Amino acid sequence: MTVVPVELGERRYEVLIGDGVRHQLADVVAETVPGAIRAAVVTQAGIGVEVDPGLPVERFTVPGGEDAKSLAVVEHLCRGFARSGLSRSDVVIAVGGGVVTDLTGFAAASFQRGTSYVNVATSLLAQVDAAVGGKTGVNIPEGKNLVGAFWQPRAVLCDTEVLATLPPREWASGRGEMAKYAFLGTGLAGGAASSLLGQPLAEQVATCVAIKADVVASDEREGDRRMLLNYGHTLAHALEASAFEPTGTLDLRHGEAVAVGLVFAALLARRLGRIGDEGVERHRQVVGEFDLPWSLPAGVEPERLVSFMARDKKAHHDLTFVLDGPDGVEVVRGVGADDVLATLAEMRASETGDRP
């Protein structure tokens, strides 16, 4: 087992990584939430991971997919917590992937203005990224994760044993976030994909968690440095928001959208003179080594994507991106809409062989 601490002073907690760590949940709850006398477990149908928090428990099942991340489901959970007699001194346990940990964390943050919670991450995406860091939230029609709270878990359990049953596209979704960390990790970029993918699975998870923990410890509430964790996400979130619309037809997992967003960010950085052709090729190579696509999905409307990008959480009434450059990956504000639209056109043209 590997233990990665997230150093946040009084809110410090540990991420436990390895085969079978879910079986340590009762001990973790007893140690980190010593006053709890009951628990609420939130999961989704089909996850099939049983946990024992060592306390009397009420179990809640939320809808599948991103549809679960809604204010209506948060209300449903909080009302259920109240009916079950849960108090602020008790504990909520999220058992699932990023959707479950995002949603449950926000419900815990909201219920009685803050109830302790523990994440048991069951997907690769949740283990390498979503379950760590305390960013919780839900979606609204106007965008992804636009409503939420910073609320740190008491602990995170990343049981790599349960990943064996993940379907291929869930593996791809997790690898999209891993590709992001390949660019953010010290000593990884360059031989990024090979050095990360060459590690045993538990070490891959631990490497990504350690990178995120370091960033979160230095900037818990995304004032500056933590924005780097959104590398590739500005376009990714716009694509996902487009899919949420009533007429949306896109079928993209989060990590797949991030992979597209990473290559887009490289093309935009080149257009702005921040990197050259070699930098763009390196992004394509790393994304390819993670066996991920980087094509812009058919049917998306560039102008609509730009409108979603303007609502991104990094934006301050402008278009803000995380972009590579001579000093590495950094936040770039005030990017022109014309440059974004031209880059989207270039991306599509490069896939068809046409000139933009």
Residue from 230, 240, 314, 346 carrying the catalytic annotation: 230
38 is catalytic: no
DSSP 160-228: GGGGGG--HHHHHHHHHHHHHHHHHSTTTSSSHHHHHHTS-HHHHHHHHHHHHHHHHHH-TT-SSGGGG
Q: Is 254 a catalytic residue?
A: yes
Catalytic (active site) residue 69: no
Q: Which of 175, 180, 212, 253 is catalytic?
A: 212
Residue 212 annotated in active site? yes
Q: Of these residues, 222, 240, 256, 346, which one is catalytic?
A: 222
Of the residues 69, 226, 253, 270, only one is catalytic, namely 226
Q: Which of 66, 170, 177, 220 is catalytic?
A: 177
Q: Which of 22, 154, 237, 253 is catalytic?
A: 237
The residue from 175, 254, 270, 283 that is catalytic is: 254
Residues 6+ apart with CB under 8 A from 308: 143, 237, 238, 241, 242
Does residue 325 contact residue 183 with C-beta atoms inside 8 Å?
Answer: no
Q: What is the DSSP letter of 34?
A: T
Which of 135, 154, 270, 274 is labelled catalytic? 135
Provide the CB-side half-sphere exposure for 115 (13 A, CA). 28
336 phi-psi bin (left φ>0, alpha ψ -120 to 50, beta other): beta
Q: Is 222 known to be catalytic?
A: yes
Q: Which of 10, 83, 113, 278 is catalytic?
A: 113
Q: 325 in helix, strand or coil? A: coil
Catalytic, 284? Answer no
Among 233, 253, 313, 314, which one carries the catalytic annotation? 233
Residues belonging to the active site: 113, 135, 177, 212, 222, 226, 230, 233, 237, 254
